[in-house]
Amino acid sequence: MKKKVIILATGGTIAGVGEEGKIVGYIPGSIAVDDLIAAMPKLKDVADIEALQICNINSDDITDKIWIRLANTINELSKDPNVVGFVVTHGTDTMEETAYFLNLTIKTDKPVVFTGSMRPATSISADGYMNLYEAVCVATSNEAREKGVLVVFSDCIFAARTVTKTSTYHVTAISSSGMGAIGIVRDGDVYLYASPSKCHTTKSLFDVKSIDKLPKVSLLYFYADADPGLLEYAAKSSDGIVIAGAGAGEFSESYKSIIEKFNIPVVVCSRIDGGIIFKENLLCDNTVAADNLSPQKATVLLRLALACKIDRQNLQEIFMKY
């Protein structure tokens, strides 16, 4: 019996349609997942494919509700012993946030592999088909089990926690900056060279079974002479704040004097790609260091921590662990 892989489609450029042969000016989330699969008959040689259209949108429109639905759907379907793994197709813009959310909330060791594309399906040399094929190959791989959520893009395998989008146009736009890929795919064969060490999936404490939305967290980017009024405004309508500070999570004296008075949690990251914030770097005692989590991923972890009622005093430990 062939292995069964479930493809959960959410839209993005991989399902994008534009002027035949062109790359720019297309509409993401236009092709139904069944049509994507039909255009890639080789997938059937790798696995029995079942497809679920979760939504068909531009990934900039992804919401907490879609994240929770994806996590709960995968948790339910993974109980089927015939299912060996999952592929999630997703727009590249926010793929890293959704992949990290699932990395923290799914309760299975079976591979869950994200993919997408930089060129719409109707362009010359569209990259989505190859990416989808390679993602299905990784989803069937025994070696890819217990690695947390993975992202397969342009022959490379990345871990959800460190993957990020690094270009607005290269076909290799999905990458891991300083951390690098943990494996590669070649002619459908999977080669893995590293394992993520931070807590994920079956060992993660985060459970969204009985949650239908996440608390609101605002992300503010510090820049020279930034208006501290933005902080006060954001704090009024947020349950938590993430700051993308300059350098090792720094900001101005005027920012500091406002942040010091906040009663809501404030997590400090770096606006630098590859920045790491240690507790020793913190300018305010009431803030939490994000380790090397990107600001956008820190919003995901903070929202989950708040949803799961993690105490303020345990927040720092959570940010070091996940």
Region of 48-56, 90-98, 214-222, 237-245 interacting with ligand GLU (CB under 6 A): 90-98
In the complex, what is the shortest distance from the CB of residue 87 to ligand GLU, in angstroms, rounded to a whole number?
A: 15
**Stretch 24-53 residues interacting with ligand GLU (CB under 6 A):** 28
Q: Please, what is the minimum distance in Å from the beta carbon of residue 25 to ligand GLU?
A: 12
52: nearest Cα among 28, 75, 70? 70
Compute how many other C-beta atoms are within 10 angstroms of the C-beta atom of residue 214.
Answer: 22
* CA torsion angle 70 76 79 80 (round to 10): -80
List 30, 53, 56, 58, residue binding ligand GLU (CB under 6 A) = 58
Q: Please tell me whether residue 98 binds ligand GLU under the rule CB under 6 A.
A: no
Task: Compose the 108-147 pattern: x for residues touching ligand GLU by CB under 6 A, - for all others.
Answer: --------x-x-----------------------------
DSSP state at residue 186: E
Between vectors from CA 87 to CA 299 and to CA 170, what angle results, nearest 5°? 70
Interface with ligand GLU, residue 164, by CB under 6 A: no
Q: Does 152 bind ligand GLU (CB under 6 A)?
A: no
Cβ at position 266, least distance to ligand GLU in Å: 28
Q: Is 18 a binder of ligand GLU (CB under 6 A)?
A: no
Indicate which single residue of 18, 91, 196, 265 sits in contact with ligand GLU (rule: CB under 6 A): 91
DSSP class of 220: E
Count of residues interacting with ligand GLU (CB under 6 A): 12
244, 221 contact by CB (below 8 A): yes
Q: What share of the chain is helix, strand, coil (3-state, %, to 5)?
A: 30, 25, 45
The window from 42-50, 88-96, 131-139, 306-314 that contacts ligand GLU (CB under 6 A) reads 88-96
The verdict on 275 binding ligand GLU (CB under 6 A) reads no
Encode 128-165: b = buried (16+ Cβ within 10 Å), e = exposed. bbbbbbbbbbbbbbeebebbbbbbbbbebbbbbbbbbb
Measured from the CB atom, is 60 or 80 closer to ligand GLU? 60
Residue tagged active-site, from 13, 92, 105, 299: 13
93 binding ligand GLU? (CB under 6 A): yes
- The nearest distance, CB 222 to ligand GLU, in angstroms, is 26
Is residue 103 part of the contact set for ligand GLU (CB under 6 A)? no
Q: Does 12 bind ligand GLU (CB under 6 A)?
A: yes
Closest-CA residue to 288 (of 258, 255, 311): 311
Supply the Cα-derived Rg of the chain in whole angstroms.
20
Look up 13 and say whether it is catalytic: yes
Q: Which residues pair with 27 in a beta bridge?
A: 17
13 binds ligand GLU (CB under 6 A): yes
H runs (alpha helix) in the chain: 33-38, 43-46, 64-77, 95-105, 128-139, 229-236, 253-259, 295-307, 312-321
Which residues are the active-site residues? 13
Give contact residues for ligand GLU (rule: CB under 6 A).
11-13, 28, 58-60, 91-93, 116, 118
